[in-house]
Amino acid sequence: MGNASPLAVTMFQLRILIADDHDVVRHGVRSLLEQRTGWQVCGEAANGREAVQMARQLKPDVAVLDLTMPELSGLEATQQILKSLPRTEIIILSISESEEIVREVLDAGARGYVLKTDTSRELLAAVAAVSEHKPFFTTRVAEMVLGGYLENKGKSGPACGAGNTLSMREREVLQLLVEGLSNKQVATKLGISAKTAEAHRINIMRKLNLHSIVELVRYAMRNKMIAP
């Protein structure tokens, strides 16, 4: 009878995956989260693609993903993780205060959005909320989304940006192109032909009404897909 209590306490561990391309951020988030009894960081990823691979392997309950990572952004990583693991809850950690980005993140399936300028307490609250399959927004994010909704209310046409017309594969190609990879390198990275990579690049330019890689990079920076 007396042995039942410790066993019950250790039966459940909330397994958390952290993904950020900055070591200091990953280690800081890990240290913060592991202060909570019953919370375990099961893995750390340094880029979006690695986050997807580790998630499929480790099957975490919660994944805390940076929005702007090399190889695959937090947005694309969210979509790919949830495709394989629909029960995993995603929190996006970001510097972006763009209402459009928040909407894209929510559309991708993430249930929480925390700004890197928010307090540690709010990140802990976010993990606690999504672990119970409840959405979580800090006050600033909620105000941002509400402000965007009120601003767009009554306007004709869709509120979402042109970037939402890109397919998941096109977003992957865009991410790699703005990191400076050539069509051939993009093809090798994604396991597709150079001709297919070039076709994706042309489609991306057409959909976004852009005419050069420089414009593409500016678009990605403006929409916080890459760090400035």
CATH code of the domain in which 208 resides: 1.10.10.10
Strands in the chain per DSSP E: 14-19, 39-45, 62-66, 89-94, 112-115, 136-137
Residue numbers of the domain that contains 198 = 162-222
Residues 124 and 169 in one domain: no
Give the per-residue pLDDT at 22: 92
Provide the domain count of the chain.
Answer: 2
Helix-strand-coil split of the chain, %, nearest 5: 55, 15, 30
Highest mean pLDDT, choosing among 41-45, 66-70, 115-119: 41-45
pLDDT digits (tens, 9 = 90+) for 174-195: 888 877 788 888 888 888 888 8
- Structure-model confidence comparison of residues 54 and 203, the more confident one: 54
pLDDT at position 164 over 70 = no
- Rounded to whole angstroms, the Cα distance separating 143 from 201 reads 36
Q: Is residue 147 part of a domain?
A: yes
Two tokens at 175? 């991410």
C-beta of residue 100 within 8 angstroms of C-beta of residue 162:
no
Q: Is residue 120 part of a domain?
A: yes
pLDDT at position 133 over 60 = yes
pLDDT at position 159 over 90 = no
Q: Is residue 227 part of a domain?
A: no
CATH code of the domain in which 78 resides: 3.40.50.2300
